[in-house]
Structure 1
Amino acid sequence: MFLRILYKKGDGTLDISYENRVDKLHIWTRHTLQWIPHFHDSIEIVCLLTGNADVMIGGEHYTLTAGDFAIAMPNVLHGYYREEDIDAFLLIVPRYYCDAYATILENHTVTTPVIRAEQHGGRLTERIRELIRTYKSTSPFRREILAGCFTVLFGEVFSYTGMTESRKAPEETERRLIAYCLENYMQEISLDSLADSLHVSRSYISYIFSNKLHVSLPDFIGSLRVAEAKRQIENGAGITEAALNAGFSSIRTFNRRFAKESGMTPREFKKQIADADGTPDTTKPA
């Protein structure tokens, strides 16, 4: 599982899978789509080209099929659950590309975050392809053209999703849970310690993980630790050093969790990095 999580800590940004890209546009082609629930300050878009994917956006669950389009607005919890071969465009879009709609977005959000293929008839997919062509261009007006492309894209997207007046986010507890785990995942975390720290009942925390986030607490923490260990290995740390720094109490547990998350051993991962001259093949730009 390759994570994309941004969370501001008191001493900077916790970098799980990439640097603080909140102010930059990123477009990728993906062939797998599985990440635990996360949130960030940008807009995240998935345009599924082939295959099926299970997504959670704002606590609601959807199954995407080829041609479907999903959008997660800033600071809305979202995650992806099915690990199988797919083809998809994934975009992380800074807020400023949506400035034309800033006024309405101050107190409105999308009514439904998923647009089915039969609704847009391929129109949104072509908009994304047009964005990618512009994204790759060397035009001196590339940024301005991109801004225009996004203005058109979001106008069409919002016409399909509809807009609803925002209410108090019902997922505040979920966000607090994730934020706490991101802050403390290198320490021992249990349902009891979460309940004591967040003043939320143990049973409700268990319910949130099982029924809303669809991931167990141990799997969530394990994924964060593996992602951190990967980052350290990529930066030159030894396997044992990376495991202990990431919060694992034993190398045996680390090896087992790493293999479950990555489909390879830590040594194989380290060799893969060395073979690629230090550039792991995890996410490829579109």
Structure 2
Amino acid sequence: MYSKNCSLQNNFLDIKYTRSDIISSTEKFNMHLHDFYEIYYFLEGDVTYYIEGHGYQMEANSLLIINNKELHKPIFNKELPYERIVIHFFPWVLSKYDSYDFNLLECFENRKEAHHNKIIDKNKEIFNYFKKITQYVQNKSLESELMVETLFIQMLVLINKKFNKKTVENNNFIKYNRRILEIITYINSNIEKSLSLNLLAEEFYLNKSYLSHIFKKNTGFSVLQYIHYKKIMTAKRLLLDNNSCSEVSSKLNFGDYSTFYRSFKREVGISPQEYQKQRSAIEKYQFFND
């Protein structure tokens, strides 16, 4: 697509094109935990993308839609060149369009978690929007900001139409282990409890070593990593609902506040208090500028 990697950003979205001839250790083991929504467009490589226990085998000109509650990670089946485009955006940047009947975020929000994430772009219609958007971001002309926003909205409309059509189609390209999905559902439904490998092994009548093995194989995460990340994600949501930091720590059974503080800062990069203040300021800014 381009002669070299590029990362482009404006007030509306963040878009990145990357081609890796050699897969780095960061790409192999990076676990995604973020507040924004993601559109991942796959161009080349041999990748199975795991989202909450579902494995999507990627093919050229296919894309994934991923919301801010879905843990995800690529697994590289072969050491082949890896090419992709990724768009990140915060859902609240679309709040100005809420008055319309068409829901631009339907494909991200109106579905069961980790279901129907993959869409095939057979005729490269969505890809053409990516090209136009990146051209305007690079161009930096007077109309660039407006064109990027309007093209992105048009692209979301098209993705939603393809999503609604796709949900009634066959989904044989998804790999999953039914028992792992049951365990994931149990964890998410009981995330406020004190969860452990021992508890899950007893609940599902499985040997601990076997449970650890099949969970890692099917999700790309260890059981404890998954529980940890889900607790942090839930903590972020609770903090934004104006719960105090100590209340969040207690609700999610982190044991003590210092453990919660260290875990949160390690994963998010800032303290719970800083996160709460920062996100509150961003949302207030958005409210007054809509």
Output the aligned Cα RMSD: 5.2
Quote how far apart the aligned CAs of 1:180 are: 0.7
Q: Deviations over 1:204-254 (max 9, x none)?
A: 320123222111222211222222222222122221111111221111211
In structure 1, which of residues 57, 65, 81 is the aligned counterpart of residue 73 of structure 2?
81
* Number of aligned residues: 209
**Cα 1:187–1:134, aligned 2, differ >3 Å: closer, same or farther?**
same
Contact 1:47 1:68 in 2 (8 A): no
Quote how far apart the aligned CAs of 1:260 are: 2.2
**Cα 1:165–1:262, aligned 2, differ >3 Å: closer, same or farther?**
closer
TM-score w.r.t. the length of structure 2 is 0.52
Cα distance in 1 between the residues matched to 2:239 and 2:160:
37
Cα distance in 1 between the residues matched to 2:273 and 2:171:
51
2:82 aligns with none
Cα distance in 1 between the residues matched to 2:32 and 2:240:
21
- 1:236 lines up with 2:236 in the alignment: no
**Cα 1:173–1:270, aligned 2, differ >3 Å: closer, same or farther?**
same
2:261 aligns with 255
Cα distance in 2 between the residues matched to 1:269 and 1:154:
33
Contact 2:57 2:174 in 1 (8 A): no
Structure 2 unaligned segments of length 5 or more: list them: 1-11, 17-30, 75-84, 92-103, 134-146
Contact 2:39 2:86 in 1 (8 A): no
- 1:60 lines up with 2:55 in the alignment: yes
Identity rate of aligned residues, in percent? 17
Structure 1 unaligned segments of length 5 or more: list them: 1-27, 37-43, 98-108, 138-145, 281-286
2:8 aligns with none
Contact 1:258 1:266 in 2 (8 A): yes
TM-score w.r.t. the length of structure 1 is 0.52
Cα distance in 2 between the residues matched to 1:168 and 1:56:
10
1:79-158 alignment to 2 at 5 Å? 79-81=71-73, 86-88=86-88, 93-94=106-107, 123-126=125-128, 133=150, 136=153, 146=157, 151=161, 153=162
Quote how far apart the aligned CAs of 1:264 are: 1.1
Contact 1:68 1:115 in 2 (8 A): yes
Quote how far apart the aligned CAs of 1:176 are: 0.4
Quote how far apart the aligned CAs of 1:194 are: 0.7
Cα distance in 1 between the residues matched to 2:159 and 2:48:
28
